[in-house]
Amino acid sequence: MLVFPNAKLNLGLYVTARRPDGYHDLETAFVPLPWTDALEVLPAPKGQAASSLTLSGRPVPGDPATNLCLKAYQLLQADYPALPAAQLHLHKLVPIGAGLGGGSADAAFALRAVNEVFSLGLTTMQLEGYARRLGADCAFFLHNTPMLAHGRGDEFSPLALEVRGTACLVVYPGLHISTAAAFAGIVPRPPAHPLREALGQPMAEWPGTVRNDFEDALAPRYPVLADIKARLYAAGATYASLSGSGSAVYGLFPDLGEAPALAWEPEFLVWRGTL
């Protein structure tokens, strides 16, 4: 089975409180971004006792044995010991450490693919339980529709937000920003504008009311982020923002217009298309 795990964008991201468990309470909106990896899940060849994962595309740091795709399979295997071994291959295109949720998407799609390939019959709600154990935003990718997220980013409520067909340009400057490093500069506080209400206004009003707390925290260390955002606005973006805890910056446009003609640094990775 071949699936295409897609990325996500954050529309607004507020760190509202530090939790007793060491995590933070967040308020954000997730929307799907059709920048995808490719993941193949097949039954392992006859005689292969253990599941395996091979990788191609963009380099993925770390031991493949610790990859979230294999961890997704292992979570299911723990509850279904008779689950046959699987052979997985991940072709990585979504950059890592960009705030686009690529690894979480891979894990969620792996759960869904293993469920289907081996006919486990698990519901979306049951798969959500496994997804939350793999990452705070993993469960979002089982729905892949605009959602307002609370708690650690793993509590969702539907969001009536129609952004399909919106032109989008995403610029990744090649910086890998760890989540821990990003949170180190954050001072939790309530948002000045309730996010659901702010996103209910015309997009032209979002620049004044929809913010990402990580932008101010990261700007002193990574001035390139503010530079990219300014260039997107100068090119005609209606709204531009850092996604997640960075380092990808995106712009939403009435149409792509002049945006494809922008000259970006050779080391930047750029995705353009529609949501």
Query: In 10 A of CB 265, how many CB atoms?
Result: 11
CA–chain centroid gap for 24, Å, is 18
Query: In 10 A of CB 17, how many CB atoms?
Result: 13
**Positions at the binding site:** 95-105
Angle at 244 between CA 240 and CA 250, to 5 degrees: 25
227 is catalytic: no
Number of helices followed by number of strands (H, E) in the chain? 8, 12
Query: In 10 A of CB 174, how many CB atoms?
Result: 13
Between CA 122 and CA 83 the distance in angstroms is: 13
Give the closest residue to 244 by CA, choosing from 5, 6, 11.
11
Between CA 176 and CA 187 the distance in angstroms is: 22
Between CA 130 and CA 174 the distance in angstroms is: 31
Angle at 55 between CA 127 and CA 6, to 5 degrees: 45
Between CA 174 and CA 237 the distance in angstroms is: 22
Among residues 137, 154, 213, 229, the one annotated as catalytic is 137
Q: Establish how many alpha carbons lie within 13 A of residue 49's alpha carbon, considering only the half-sphere containing its beta carbon.
A: 0
**Positions at the binding site for ATP:** 95-105
Among residues 8, 71, 92, 229, the one annotated as catalytic is 8
154 is catalytic: no
Is residue 254 within 8 Å of 235, Cβ to Cβ? no
List, by residue number, the catalytic residues.
8, 137
